[in-house]
Amino acid sequence: MNIVFVIILLLIDAIGTIAAWQMTFLLRVRSGLFETPLPIETLLPIIFLTVFWWILFALRGMYRTPLAISRFDVLVRCFSSFAIGILLIFILTFDINDPINFNRLFLIHYGLIAFILVSIGRLTLRVLQRRIRWRRKGLYRALIIGFNDVGKKLNDQLYHYPVWGFQVSGFIDDEINEGEHLGVKILGGRKDISEIVNSEKIQFLLIAQEKQSQAGFLDIFDYCNSPKMRFMIVADYDQMVSGLVKTVEIHGLPLVEVMPISVSLRSRIIKRLIDILVSIIVGSLLLILTPLLGLLIKINNRGSVFNLQKRIGRFGKEFTMVEFRSESGSGESGATSDRSIKHEMHETGFNRFLQNSHLDELPQIFNVLIGQMSLVGPRPEKQEIVEKFQDKVPLYRRRMRVRPGITGWAQVRHKYDTTLEDIKEETKYDLFYIDHISLALDIKIILTTFLMLVKGDRK
């Protein structure tokens, strides 16, 4: 996502909606043409509406740079967004005793003027962007996966039509080591994607495989861990006629953008808000319980009250996970400390209580609050565990595209893993969760975890 482009769009939307409010006020209040029973010129509604439109436009994907810069599409999306927004405001402010009042008429005029002003601003930006692209400036840096007839044709079209916004930096191919087309060379194979993406500052991977397969696509997603990477494939005939994908045609070549994780912005926002709300509530209770638990931990164990453990989080970033100490030695608690043997606990009644009740994991709620973890997600792992299994377990790296969780689908459906086959099975559950993230699934996992705690079933 081009941050400069997004900032300009935010400014256009803010200026357009603020100017619309002022123009509507002048028209309906100051002009004397309409009855004006209420003074409306205040700063608060302007701030509220500006933030409201930013959030609504973001949820509708209007800050995502499109490949096809269509002026008609700009008008349609602006009109539909303002129609939805004004309708929402109508519903939220509906007065059954006075359904058609001055405020309603004011909002209708405001919505129409805002639509016109924002549309003019966005259309002007699109025209300027097209002109800039024709001069081969501000283009996305891209790699083409596949040095074949499809890949070469795609490179040819993008070279002659820079208005689509791509500058191809190289080809990726496992079968051909050397080759060049229109000055663009083969830079390596699939296993080199991550290194090439970083060195060439790639923003798009364009997949042009002649023999397409889901496994092949997943391999590419697995090798590329960049959180900002966007993926497009050249759709085949079956995909086009099935109507299951929406393609963008680049002079005869149909492209479709695919997401390695199909989680909408709305779902991500809701999930994060729930994480923050629950962590604040639980964290407040934990602050009250910590002195008592800390005293009991010091009586039963050597060392500090808390166990600080290095774990790998989202996009491979290391963070410090916090737990209550539940063993007498200095080792880490949890199955991830050693995959070769089953977890060994220090056998005291209090330690068993901490572990079986999962109270030792409560401090992780602070990792959730600051965004290092989530309530629900894959199990957080140590660096050595990730390095050991990322090349042995298919799509293991894909687990790191979401925040690790205090609990998760694999945790409630599978036991602590002790063998490579166990880890493969756990990874399958994690991948299922990543591909089906939803509020309903998170609630199901949390309720299942709670029932397991009540029954004393520790996995």
Which of 237, 258, 279 is the last residue in one of the domains? 258
Q: Evaluate whether 233 touches 255 at the Cβ level (below 8 Å).
A: yes
Q: What is the pLDDT of residues 392-439, one digit of tens each?
A: 887 788 888 889 999 999 888 876 666 778 888 888 889 888 878 888
- 291 and 428 both lie in a single domain: yes
- 103 and 156 both lie in a single domain: no
- 320 and 413 both lie in a single domain: yes
Which of 240, 258, 276 is the last residue in one of the domains? 258
The CA distance from 400 to 359, in Å, is: 25
- 444 and 335 both lie in a single domain: yes
Number of domains in the chain: 3
CATH number (domain holding residue 220): 3.40.50.720
- 297 and 188 both lie in a single domain: no
User: What is the domain range of residue 248?
Assistant: 140-258
- 396 and 272 both lie in a single domain: yes
The CA distance from 206 to 209, in Å, is: 9
The CA distance from 105 to 67, in Å, is: 38
Q: What is the pLDDT of residues 163-178, one digit of tens each?
A: 888 999 999 998 888 8
- 323 and 345 both lie in a single domain: yes
The CA distance from 115 to 123, in Å, is: 12
Coil, helix or strand for 243? Answer: coil
What pTM was estimated for this model as a whole? 0.62
Q: Is residue 22 predicted with pLDDT exceeding 80?
A: yes
Which of 204, 234, 258 is the last residue in one of the domains? 258
- 318 and 387 both lie in a single domain: yes
CA angle 363, 366, 370 (to 5 degrees): 160
The CA distance from 307 to 321, in Å, is: 8
435: tokens are 């591909």
- 221 and 296 both lie in a single domain: no
Q: Is residue 320 predicted with pLDDT exceeding 60?
A: yes
Q: What is the CA radius of gyration of the chain?
A: 27
- In DSSP terms, 181 is beta-bridged to 184
- 163 and 231 both lie in a single domain: yes
- 447 and 367 both lie in a single domain: yes
Mean pLDDT for the stretch of residues 123-150: 89
Cβ partners under 8 Å of residue 17, min gap 6: 49, 50, 53, 114, 117, 118
b/e sequence 382-406, b meaning 16+ C-beta within 10 Å: beebbebbbeebebbbbbbbbbbbb
- 208 and 326 both lie in a single domain: no
Coil, helix or strand for 313? Answer: coil
> In this predicted structure, what is the pLDDT of residue 243?
45
**In the block, which residue shows the tokens 């519903």?**
91
